[in-house]
Structure 1
Amino acid sequence: MTHTSPPGGEPSVTGGQPRRAGAEPAISGAEPPVAGGFTATRFVLVEPSHPGNVGAAARALKTMGFARLVLVRPRVEHVHEHPEACAMASGATDVLANAHVVESLEDALSGVHWSLALSARPREYGPPMMMPRAAAERALAIVGEGAQEIALVFGNERVGLSNADVERCSAIVHIPANPAYSSLNLAQAVQVLAYELRVAFQAPGALARGVDASPLAASEDVERMFVHLENALISLDFLDPANPKKLMPRLRRLFARARLEHEEVAILRGIAKHILLKSKR
């Protein structure tokens, strides 16, 4: 498995053309999915440690009608060929074989317009938090007929997602498990979210509801905006790079709530550009 380009419909910022996973596998007796909903959704596993979990995640996706699996720096090379992964995939070896391997979460989210970070613990400066069902309803509104891409991001089995990875996402999803024992296996968490998405995508009238009138900016455009904005704030001496405190994480949280559109990102970058020009003068 040597796919090094991201699985979205746009080229990676690091170069190269992505190859999309195959169409949703046929499931006997399944209702037809909302157009684009299943193929516009990717599931991202960041640094998975155990091949069995990767295979079980592939099985979880296929049972719910999804096929796009992305692996960010898996700890085991050629994990799609590992006997434990193939055994746990249990018939979903096509999803496993077609998984994309990328070097960073940035690559995994290339072309994505809205992303969910799965986290079992609250983050002081992370993006807004949602419950799985509410997140699935919001996902439906964003994917519409497949014009916009979404991603669900899962962390390493032992340490979860880093703060930097969470801040790169649009929202946090927390599965409300038993507080006395809230530890979910990685593949189980994938199954819960895949199920909620399937229910939302196939609900009566879902196609009519699943159209967002305001297309969101792509993840890579938002990240470039933050770099541009940070440089502008430094040039104004508003942000001290030696002692940044929590300014940028707070701004990320603010803009995550705003759900920036492409034109809004362009406006903010235009402001940052003129600040930098004035500062140089």
Structure 2
Amino acid sequence: MNTSHPGNVGAVARAIKVMGFGELVLVQPRFADVLTQDETLAFASGATEVLERARVVGRLEDALDGVQFVVGTAMTPRDFGPPCHAPRALFEELAARPEPPSLGLVFGSERYGMANEDVYRCHAVVSIPTAPDYGSLNLAQAVQILAYEWRQALGGFAVQGRTKAPDLADAQAVQGLLTHWQQALEAVGFLDPAAPRKLMPRLNQLFNRAGLQSEEIHILRGIARAMQAAPKDR
């Protein structure tokens, strides 16, 4: 409501898009053309379709058309206002309902937050837990946090871009490496074959814990070859 900085509008569009939401309503923004200003578009960083679909209205009640549960944002509770919650607990409770309601998040002006009369229109208020000595959040940052929490309550998204499973070496390759290292350690005088103690079993466990990949087997065998080829007397 009463947004004063075009960059914040663009950043908010970006914040909600990455969480899979697309409805943005501005109530009496400072600039009538805020949705098309260069700074807004720059901060949107590709979320221009959110700006294209966004609405500008003159009253909060017009922005809440179709919203079943209205959540305001405030650092401190208001007298006689709706109950104040931490976002995660409230969103999890809403999402757990047989039919989760359509949710509307209301953010106040960057300069003075939400007016009391607007807070009273909300079903609940959330306050983002912050460090006790510094709780100042930029508008877009607050939107990003709450959009993330609501998305997580709804089930979240699968992590994208998972790396390919490593090509782990099989047990035979590990044992071949172990034999090669035993020969190399004997060649450099580190291992006495007459009194090996527990060195090789310990190396065996080390290699198993490491979960060596095939390429790493090749590297370690190359080191063993270099040890075997090293001059015996220096």
User: Shorter-chain TM-score category?
Assistant: 0.5 to 0.7
Matched, 1:181 2:126: no
In structure 2, runs of 5+ residues without a counterpart are 158-234
Q: Please, which of 169, 172, 178 is the counterpart of residue 122 of structure 2?
A: 169
Whole-angstrom CA distance in 2 between matches of 1:142 and 1:158: 35
* TM superposition shift of 1:143: 8.2
Whole-angstrom CA distance in 2 between matches of 1:55 and 1:179: 29
SS at match of 2:111: coil
Contact 1:48-1:74 at 8 Å conserved across structures: yes
Q: Could you tell me which residue of structure 2 aligns to residue 199 of structure 1? A: 152
1:214-265 Cα shifts (integer Å, max 9, x gaps) = xxxxxxxxxxxxxxxxxxxxxxxxxxxxxxxxxxxxxxxxxxxxxxxxxxxx
Q: Please, which of 102, 108, 125 is the counterpart of residue 149 of structure 1?
A: 102
* TM superposition shift of 1:111: 2.4
* TM superposition shift of 1:203: 5.5
Amino acid at match of 2:138: N
Number of aligned residues: 157
> TM-score normalised to the size of structure 2?
0.64
What's the % identity of the aligned pairs?
54
SS at match of 1:152: strand
Q: Please, which of 49, 56, 79 is the counterpart of residue 124 of structure 1?
A: 79
Whole-angstrom CA distance in 1 between matches of 2:126 and 2:44: 25
1:90-140 Cα shifts (integer Å, max 9, x gaps) = 010111121111110111112222110000122122101110101211331
Contact 1:56-1:89 at 8 Å conserved across structures: yes
Contact 1:143-1:149 at 8 Å conserved across structures: no
1:71-94 Cα shifts (integer Å, max 9, x gaps) = 001111111111111000001011
Whole-angstrom CA distance in 2 between matches of 1:95 and 1:104: 20
SS at match of 1:101: strand
Q: Could you tell me which residue of structure 2 aligns to residue 69 of structure 1? A: 24
Q: Please, which of 43, 51, 54 is the counterpart of residue 99 of structure 1?
A: 54
Greater gyration radius: 2
Whole-angstrom CA distance in 2 between matches of 1:75 and 1:158: 12
Q: Could you tell me which residue of structure 2 aligns to residue 135 of structure 1? A: 90
- Which portions of structure 1, spanning 4 or more consecutive aligned residues, are displaced by more than 2 angstroms? 141-145
Q: Could you tell me which residue of structure 2 aligns to residue 239 of structure 1? A: none
> TM-score normalised to the size of structure 1?
0.54
Whole-angstrom CA distance in 1 between matches of 2:74 and 2:44: 24
SS at match of 2:152: helix
Whole-angstrom CA distance in 2 between matches of 1:87 and 1:139: 34
Structure 1 residues 178, 140: closer, same or farther in 2, change over 3 A? same
**Greater relative CO (CA pairs within 8 A, separation 6+):** 1
RMSD between aligned alpha carbons? 1.7
